[in-house]
Amino acid sequence: MRIAVIGSGYVGLVAGACFADLGHEVVLVDNDQQKLAALQAGRCPIHEQFLPELLDRHRGQRLQFTDNLQEAVRSSAAIFVAVGTPPTDQGDADLSYVESVAREISGAIDGYKIVVEKSTVPVYTSEWVRKIILRNGAPVDSFDVASNPEFLREGTGVTDFLYPDRIVVGADSERCAAVMREIYAPMTDGSYYKKHDAIPRPDRAQTPPPIIVTSTKSAELIKHASNAFLAMKISFINAVSSICESVGANVQQVCQGIGTDSRIGPRFLNPGIGYGGSCFPKDLMAFRAVARECGYDFRLLDEVIRINEEQRHRFLRKIRNALWTLRGKRIGILGLAFKGGTDDIRESPAILLVQSLLQEGCHLCAYDPAAIERTREVVGNKVEFATNAYDAAAGADALLILTDWEEFATLDLSELKRKMRYPIVIDGRNLYLPETMAARGFSYYSVGREPALADNQSTRASDNPQGATRKA
């Protein structure tokens, strides 16, 4: 099938490359000439596992790039809209890019086509897309609008697309649903997974994936409700970690105890410095705005957002408790992206902490395997950037671990200690065992666990953000 994907951001680029790998003829549309030139020259603009090899495999063959939207629409049976939906000042989704694309699509419909929402959009967007296309002259029976939300995690977007837990299709006609089933048939009939060059199957993936066909409104709500629930799970365990710190419990033991309950599960029960990225913060605000428009005060979402913001403030207090004063201190930073495996720093709690520490008068030396250039665009020369983790730690009064990159969990602790001015590690991702760090000569602070002090001093009340006395 010939497919047009409009928008070459994280979602559009991954979707286009994966559709091509499924065997479809894909044209990816963008009006950013610089990005198009980079893609046509063989460069991958984002850090995403397996994406460069898919682009190399299909570029110029099953995958083409263009800025001519109307020509792409005329030559395609399905048009996936994957443009940005940034939050407005009020917190709801800005759908102006979606509306603009819908207007352009209407002038190029010359036979039956389906227009598919791939961007994360609030409920009723499909109805508005249909109205816009009709207002601009498309015959009523010449198109259908579908919703096909993505559930991609940055850093594993390609495998998430090709090995999903489920495929959700919102379609209000059987004709539209049939086209969507055909698009995903190589996955749902299992034929893709038999290919010798298929992207490797990740752990826990079940093939073939189920396809869930719903109404368009239900599909739109599924996306927002899914992200809101996952964010709630993260905020919940972060709130629990605060209690653990107050009473001297170990949050990882608590996570194991509740995560083995099959009704709860262990995933997203990872305490840290809070969620970030382009999805959770934006989608929670948009979902809350939708609820308010419907007359429902979704106060649970307010609390999820509040806990997430408070988690960063708690971590900053933890740094102060470990160092006493911050002005003039040299601090090493490991991790700038909002999570490991990506170069995305949008709403990254690491970046927000970096900005807070700069305001405190700290000298920062930071390292991230992928996100340095994007961070440099935000902070300029206010931060020194290192080429590896050990150089970031050199001469540091303390080292902060802010992103869960795998390489940060396997550092040579002897070399790390030798590099630092003081062996103080404040770990926002709980990558190490406290007893291991103390045995190796570090004073180690983490989230939801008691500090482990190298000098065997008992923990003072000042080490506790709430001021509660804990055991040694």
d(C-alpha 392, C-alpha 201), whole Å? 35
pTM score of the predicted model? 0.89
| Confidence (pLDDT) at 455 | 62
Distance of CA 14 to the CA centre of its chain: 14
Task: Indicate the domain borders of the chain.
Answer: 2-214, 227-306, 311-463
| Confidence (pLDDT) at 7 | 96
Query: Which CATH number applies to 311-463: 2.30.110.10, 3.30.465.10, 3.40.50.720, 3.90.550.10?
Result: 3.40.50.720
| Residue in the structure block whose two tokens are 């996952």 | 230
Length of the chain measured in residues: 472
279 is catalytic: yes
C-alpha radius of gyration, the chain, whole number: 24
CATH dotted code for 227-306: 1.10.1040.10
311-463 matches 227-306 in CATH topology? no
In the 3-class helix/strand/coil scheme, how is 47-103 assigned residue by residue?
CCCCHHHHHHHHECCCEEEECCHHHHHHCCCEEEECCCCCECCCCCECCHHHHHHHH
| Confidence (pLDDT) at 466 | 38
Phi, psi angle pair for 343, to nearest 5°: -105, 10
Closest CA to 386 of 448, 314, 336, 461: 336
d(C-alpha 239, C-alpha 304), whole Å? 10
> Going residue by residue through the chain (472 aa), what tens digit of pLDDT does each one get?
999 999 999 999 999 999 999 999 999 999 999 999 999 999 999 999 999 999 999 999 999 999 999 999 999 999 999 999 888 888 788 999 999 999 999 999 999 999 999 988 989 999 999 999 999 999 999 999 999 999 999 999 999 999 999 999 999 999 999 999 999 999 999 999 999 999 999 988 899 999 999 999 999 999 999 999 999 999 999 999 999 999 999 999 999 999 999 999 999 999 999 999 988 999 999 999 999 999 999 999 999 999 999 999 999 999 999 999 999 999 999 999 999 999 999 999 999 999 999 999 999 999 999 999 999 999 999 999 999 999 999 999 999 999 999 999 999 999 999 999 999 999 999 999 999 999 999 999 999 999 999 864 444 433 444 333 333 2
Q: Which residues make Cβ contacts (< 8 Å) with residue 122, sequence separation at least 6? A: 92, 93, 95, 220, 224, 286, 287, 289, 290
Determine which one of 18, 176, 255, 279 is catalytic. Answer: 279
> How does DSSP classify residue 406?
G
**∠ CA 126-211-278, rounded to 5°:** 55
| Residue in the structure block whose two tokens are 């869960």 | 404
| Confidence (pLDDT) at 472 | 28
Query: Which CATH number applies to 2-214: 3.20.20.80, 3.40.1360.10, 3.40.50.1370, 3.40.50.720?
Result: 3.40.50.720
d(C-alpha 255, C-alpha 266), whole Å? 7
Q: Which residues make Cβ contacts (< 8 Å) with residue 111, sequence separation at least 6? A: 142
